[in-house]
Amino acid sequence: MPEERFDIYDESMNHLGTAARSEAHKHGYWHRTFHCWLLRQEDGRLLVRFQRRQLTKDTNPGCYDTTAAGHLAAGETMRDAARELEEELGIKVRFEELIPLMQVREDVSGIAAGELFIDREVSDVFGLVSNLPLSEFRLQREEVYGIYEAELADMLALFRGELEYVEADGAELSEAGDGLTSCVRKVLAKEFVTRDNSYYIDAMLGLRDMQK
């Protein structure tokens, strides 16, 4: 299977051409990604939904993360990247339903599969209201281990360092592969993909402001 290719950019986001995923991460080329956080509303409550990355992922395995996210392939627009919601979570929505929250730049490095990687991303972050029960999501087994939800106010307090953990209701892929299993997890801030906490705080505030 051919390796995925990205549009790559310099520091000022001038387009340089395209590169294979491995080359983009080897040389630290800037590229673009799509993030979307899901929010559920119930009787005045606001609940943030987030995923746990599959344990076999080459980067950040088993970490909690944005509800759905992915790279833009070469030639794709942000509108095209909304496909990640259907691929990872099994929900199909129109791009126009997504609410822009912010754009962030991230520059991180580490080791994946024994190789150094430099991941430089410009991410457009969106919000979406979805009241679909957790048990009805269709998770992409290769990418997603489970999906969870917790009170927005608690999530905000978690990333501000005001709570040690939040309790989250979840639905995880069963070992037999025949559906989702309900669970309750204690979730710590340090168990999320490592980012500046301001990313998570600003995302929570953006989701909260969607309801004003």
Question: What pLDDT is recorded for position 175?
Answer: 81
Residue 166, domain CATH: 3.90.79.10
Strand ranges for 140-203 from DSSP E: 144-151, 166-173, 180-187
Residue 176: pLDDT band by 50, 70, 90 thresholds?
confident
Can you tell me whether residue 63 is helix, strand or coil?
coil
Distance CA 182, CA 174 (A): 9
Distance CA 170, CA 181 (A): 8
Does the pLDDT at position 177 exceed 70?
no
Q: Do 79 and 73 form a contact (C-beta atoms < 8 A)?
A: no
Residue 173: give the domain boundaries: 5-209
Tell me the one-letter amino acid at 36.
C
Q: pLDDT (tens digit, 9 = 90+) per residue, 66-81?
A: 999 999 999 999 999 9
Q: Do 116 and 109 form a contact (C-beta atoms < 8 A)?
A: yes
Q: pLDDT (tens digit, 9 = 90+) per residue, 125-141?
A: 999 999 999 999 999 99
Helix (H) or strand (E) holding 34: strand 30-42
Quote the number of domains for the chain: 1
Question: What pLDDT is recorded for position 110?
Answer: 81
Q: For residue 80, what are the contacts with CB-CB under 8 A and spacing of at least 6? A: 72, 73
CA of residue 125 relative to chain centroid, distance? 9
Residue 50: pLDDT band by 50, 70, 90 thresholds?
very high
Single pTM value for the model: 0.94
Tell me the one-letter amino acid at 184.
V
Handedness of CA 109, 113, 115, 119 (dihedral sign): negative
Q: pLDDT (tens digit, 9 = 90+) per residue, 186-204?
A: 999 999 999 999 999 999 9
Distance CA 150, CA 203 (A): 14
Residue 36: pLDDT band by 50, 70, 90 thresholds?
very high
Q: What is the DSSP letter of 192?
A: B
